[in-house]
Structure 1
Amino acid sequence: MFFSQSLLLAWLAFVAFYLGWTCLTLLQNIQTARSTGLKYVVVPWYSYNQLVSLFMRRTFLRLLNKVLLQDSVASWRNLVTSIWPLRFRHAPFARLGTDTFLIVSPGGIVLNTADADVISQITSRGNDFPKPIRIYRAISIYGMNVVTSEGEEWRHQRRLTSPAFSEHNNQLVWRETIERTQAMLASLLGRDTSSKTVDHIADDVMNLSLEIIGNAALGQKVVWPNSAEDVEELETQHLKPGHTMTYSASLRYITKNMILMATAMSTLPLWLVKRMPFRRMKKLYEAYDNWKRYMQDMIAERKTDILSENSRSPNIDLIGQLVKGQVLHKANRRGQPGLTDAEVLGNLFVFIVAGHETSASSLHMTILLLALHPHIQKHLQQELFDILQGRNPSEWNYEQDLPYLTNSFLTAVWNEELRLVSPVLTIPKVVTNTPQEVIIEGKCTTLPPDMTIRLCVSAVQVNPKYWRHSVPSDPASPVFAHDNLDNDMEEFNPHRWMKSDSSPLPSLNWGTYRDESMPDTPRSSSLFTERCPRIHVPTKGSFIAFSDGQRSCLGKRFAQIEILAALAVIFSLYSVELAVDDWASDEQVKQMTQQKRENTWGKAASRARYNWQNKLTCAITVQMAASGHVPLRFVKRGEERFFDLN
């Protein structure tokens, strides 16, 4: 009895102490927030405390939302969640009447901004506002890398990894993307099929992106099964001695379980993960260990090949460039360390795993948006024909064709997709251990030391202050149904990226066309794009899908080439429509009147819009949840069923 009473008193004393400490730190943080002069919202817990946030969301907040009515978008019940920038985007800023506000909790203060000028100030002052490395610890499980480092270590990493993204590698990405995209289409549709419904295009483009990056990064052909029946056969055919999983199988398992693996490997010792009595954890460690040993073997082989006097390997893929830089750096710069093998592996892991998911998600979203907007798709296809002249993709030229694509409506389409669905919701920064001054809405504001900053990508990119916009013709049915319905910022409109005075594309007769201002010199595509830029350049800080400043994404050019080439292949050969199989068969569609076809397509469009509004989620990147897949129909050009509808 005495022991039980003592235990109860100890527990009550702990609870009282914790509540008192929480209230005291909250009051201190509120006082600090007031001193900045910025608007703020008080929340009961710190969103960057993952364990507390996860527990409170699943218990207290879920119960509270069932009991109480839906609250304002700027309510603490919404802003305490980590996903609010995806759900509400610019609406909380509009409701609070400011593009920069604070979220104050007992655990800390978070500055949230959708102000392009503030974002530009922060990204241009990397030393004053570094990346909070603790948040990225989960992706350093194979070794330190350019993403998980800061300060002098980051400069060292950046200096040694940047050369890997060379023009030689870009050309490899171009060729590989064209080849693998054609192979994907052939696999999906078959050789003799003019149209086919694809239920889960997200899975197909995910495999496509992994195949592209597998060869462009590693020179490694990644083998993917076309069906569940192929898995066992592939597992035995490509199993390397000393391994229990093939390279493809281990990489496939890692990518599908990335969140669990990163969390487990970064918080628990490896020996404990290896010995856990759970089947999934055992499989996780098996995949982790197999892929690591495959990569270590590749790094060792490349190093031997580069050091060999008889080597003729061009080593233009990422691993070849990184290892080559590692070897040459050690040979030519004694006393200055190059990348270690673990750092080479760590950087490759980030490039492959993070890079492929970002590209695949963006490709999926763009295809879906074009299917939802046939009139935009038709405009894109016409411009692709003007550029590529109906040539087979195998005849496309990197140096001639890519500059035109980057200056065309295709880039406007991709930019608009990135504006609406950025791969990341926020870009976190932190104030150094000394106060920093920033100009916010015309006033000099002092930010306290160690304050966390969130550059709200998904909010600033729909902020009407920085983008050409108009009132929607039908505000009841935008692509995204948020509170921001006084303009078309939530609608897919690639034309906003085209300069109003943009020049039309010239007649493209390769090798014969000339620049009138230089009559004796053939006009190159790069010269035309420099003199006649057609793509609108947004306000600095308002478009940060790949971040900005010195910490901008190292793989941006890689992703640009991959996405543009893949989209060009798909939409120069096929059209993509929303599938209506759930409401009508092919024969029934053929016999429908135009009105019935409009009604049938409208049902598919309503489902697609609903999923856009409700099924987007964010794990590593923003993507469509599995339950939100939208079936799509790929059809040969000229055989579309719904493109004639208004």
Structure 2
Amino acid sequence: MVSLVTAGLTVCLIYVLHKLVELRRLANSIGLPRFPLVSLGKHHIWEGKWNDAARFGWDVYSSVALLPPKGQISLYIADADVVQEVTGSRARFPKPVWMYSSLSFFGRNIVASEFEEWKKYRKLSAPSFSERNNKLVWDETVRIMLDLFDNVWQDRNVIAVDHCVDITLPIALFVIGVAGFGRRVSWKDDQVVPPGHRMTFKDALHVVSMNIFTRLIVPNWAMGFTKKTRELGQAFDELELYMDDMIRERRSGAVREERHDLFSSLMDAADDVNGEGGAGTLSDMDLKGNIFIFMLAGHETAAHTLAFTFGLLALYPQEQEVLYQQIMSIIPDGRTPTYEEMNLFTRSMAVFYETLRMFPPAPNMPKYSAEDTTLTFSNSEGERRTVPVPAGTNLLVNAPALHYNPRYWHDPYAFDPSRFLKPDWPREAFVPFSQGARACLGRRFFETEGIAVLTMLVSRYKIELADEPEFSSETFEQRKARLLRTRAGLTMTPIRLPLVFKRR
């Protein structure tokens, strides 16, 4: 028995050594600087930002992964020209959609598809993100903010929150509820559960959006094990029932009501194509799958970006004052701003963009090489290098390294919104919405919501850091590091950001 165990261990050891030698050989064949040891997974690129590229001396570097999913070479890209080449060449560098298959809870969707299937979803989805929908986003976001001021904060002059996302998550949830699904919800919404349901739409949407990560990692057969997972499973069932109700109600109406929310617009596009038949048809599962992915992408991303924005403005009160003065120069009487004025709030957009630069929602955007090819890149010294890229190589657009690369951004670790007010700011090195054909369809939706929230809040309230005596001895940099700490999630997630909002 002992000899059999020894033989088994020997075989395993020989296999691992053989695998390591094979991976080293493959890495050496590319000839790129790489991490010195074989890693067990993806390198955590957020902490490193541009430092790893600086250490290697090149804006493209490599790592070797033993597990998971299998031993492969990964290239981390912080060279803007290479990013444009990779994101602009879908045939050579497709998206590894198998990594996103778990997001197909309700049906196939635009995020978890590629090639002809993706083209179909994009063709049908693009018209939904229209100017009419953007105006709806602005108007409803303004209404949600006024509801917060008038009916929640009321006549209080000081509002303290232990974690800023307690404010930003509901805002984003209410916006996606009305502009995404056409269902208006409010801060004090106390709806009766409708017949045939066990949860209100608001509660179902809230539980799903707040616990999506749990649903990703817990298998179906284990969903009934705890009270939390049972409630989550029920919320997913309820959200699908609500979507089924909406599909049925809007198709059965004798006169189609003109709506501009994403769900209705996507339904209209799908019904028009389905009426014609052919390969472009969209099933109800496709419809639900795509509207859910828009909800997922829009809700958490907006909430966390707004939280980081508020935190940065509290840390840099001089930047907040500049923003306030620009807002008041447009609405000096304190009136409600309109969608038609959105482009006038250039400082709001600059602050929002600078937050996205410093805290990109998705730290990396994965691609892979579909064929044996080459890439040519450079470094800060102007040297150029061409390397082979074998088929199957992982390519990761390294957003933190690109956004903190001093080749493109002056003083990249500084919070400086004014950099986005210059006409020649480096657009090619700014990738929070990705680039190329697969760039985010909801970019304008996201920007509209963010600028409306930011403009409304700063026009009426000053954002300050919470007074926490236990941290009184901190330096500014220590305080900044503590307040802006992040953890892994579907998007870059703040851990705890206590703030105070004071009426102006």
With normalisation by structure 1, the TM-score equals 0.73
Contact in 1 for aligned 2:59/2:377 (Cα 8 Å): no
Provide Cα deviations, 1:428-451, integer angstroms capped at 9, x if missing partner.
Answer: 11111x212221223332201111
State yes or no: 1:304 paired with 2:192: no
Superposed, 1:379-394 pairs within 5 Å as 379-393=322-336
Provide Cα deviations, 1:561-603, integer angstroms capped at 9, x if missing partner.
Answer: 00001101011112111222x349xxxxxxxxxxxxxx97x86
Q: 1:250 aligns with which of 184, 190, 204?
A: 204
Q: Which amino acid aligns with 1:397?
A: T
- The percent of aligned pairs where both chains have the same amino acid is 30
Q: 1:329 aligns with which of 253, 266, 273?
A: 273
Structure ID, larger Rg: 1
| Gapped regions of structure 2 (runs ≥ 5) | 379-383
Distance 1:18 1:402, change over 3 A: same
Provide Cα deviations, 1:287-310, integer angstroms capped at 9, x if missing partner.
Answer: 2111111111112222223xx3x3
DSSP 3-state at the match of 1:445: strand
Distance 1:565 1:17, change over 3 A: same
Contact in 1 for aligned 2:147/2:187 (Cα 8 Å): no
DSSP 3-state at the match of 2:86: helix
Contact in 2 for aligned 1:116/1:539 (Cα 8 Å): no
Q: 1:404 aligns with which of 337, 340, 344?
A: 344
Distance, in Å, in 1 between the alignment partners of 2:202 and 2:447 is 25
Tell me the CA shift for residue 539 of structure 1: 4.7
Provide Cα deviations, 1:279-336, integer angstroms capped at 9, x if missing partner.
Answer: 333222212111111111112222223xx3x33x1121111001111111112x3323
DSSP 3-state at the match of 1:109: strand
Tell me the CA shift for residue 11 of structure 1: 4.9
Distance, in Å, in 1 between the alignment partners of 2:442 and 2:135 is 14
Contact in 1 for aligned 2:144/2:186 (Cα 8 Å): no
Distance 1:211 1:605, change over 3 A: farther
Contact in 2 for aligned 1:358/1:423 (Cα 8 Å): yes
Distance 1:186 1:12, change over 3 A: farther
Distance 1:9 1:44, change over 3 A: farther
When structure 1 is superposed on structure 2, of 165-174 and 604-613 the one drifting more is 604-613
DSSP 3-state at the match of 1:546: coil
Q: 2:111 aligns with which of 147, 151, 158?
A: 147
Provide Cα deviations, 1:242-279, integer angstroms capped at 9, x if missing partner.
Answer: 22222222222222221110223xxx4x4x245x4333
Contact in 1 for aligned 2:369/2:392 (Cα 8 Å): yes
State yes or no: 1:624 paired with 2:491: no
Q: Which residue of 1 aligns with 2:145?
A: 181
State yes or no: 1:318 paired with 2:297: no
Tell me the CA shift for residue 390 of structure 1: 2.8
Distance, in Å, in 2 between the alignment partners of 1:95 and 1:86 is 15
Tell me the CA shift for residue 18 of structure 1: 3.2
DSSP 3-state at the match of 2:413: coil
Contact in 2 for aligned 1:370/1:576 (Cα 8 Å): yes
Q: 1:453 aligns with which of 380, 395, 407?
A: 395
Contact in 2 for aligned 1:46/1:105 (Cα 8 Å): yes
Q: Which residue of 1 aligns with 2:24?
A: 30
Distance 1:320 1:25, change over 3 A: same
Distance, in Å, in 2 between the alignment partners of 1:216 and 1:454 is 32
Q: Which residue of 1 aligns with 2:377?
A: 440
State yes or no: 1:89 paired with 2:49: yes
Distance, in Å, in 1 between the alignment partners of 2:438 and 2:8 is 43
Distance 1:12 1:149, change over 3 A: farther
Q: Which residue of 2 aligns with 1:280?
A: 228
Tell me the CA shift for residue 42 of structure 1: 4.4
Contact in 1 for aligned 2:120/2:280 (Cα 8 Å): no
Structure with the larger RCO, 1 or 2 (CA within 8 Å, 6+ apart): 2
Q: 1:18 aligns with which of 12, 18, 22?
A: 12
With normalisation by structure 2, the TM-score equals 0.93
DSSP 3-state at the match of 2:202: helix
Contact in 2 for aligned 1:466/1:539 (Cα 8 Å): no
Tell me the CA shift for residue 43 of structure 1: 3.8
Superposed, 1:459-498 pairs within 5 Å as 459-467=401-409, 469=410, 488-498=411-421
Superposed, 1:422-571 pairs within 5 Å as 422-432=360-370, 434-441=371-378, 442-467=384-409, 469=410, 488-499=411-422, 535-540=423-428, 542-571=429-458
Distance 1:612 1:115, change over 3 A: farther
CA-atom RMSD in angstroms: 2.2
Tell me the CA shift for residue 23 of structure 1: 2.1
Q: Which amino acid aligns with 1:238?
A: V
Distance 1:255 1:629, change over 3 A: same
Distance, in Å, in 1 between the alignment partners of 2:103 and 2:5 is 37
Provide Cα deviations, 1:204-241, integer angstroms capped at 9, x if missing partner.
Answer: 11001100110001111235569xxxxxxx4xx42122
Distance, in Å, in 2 between the alignment partners of 1:188 and 1:100 is 49
Contact in 2 for aligned 1:366/1:413 (Cα 8 Å): yes
State yes or no: 1:372 paired with 2:315: yes
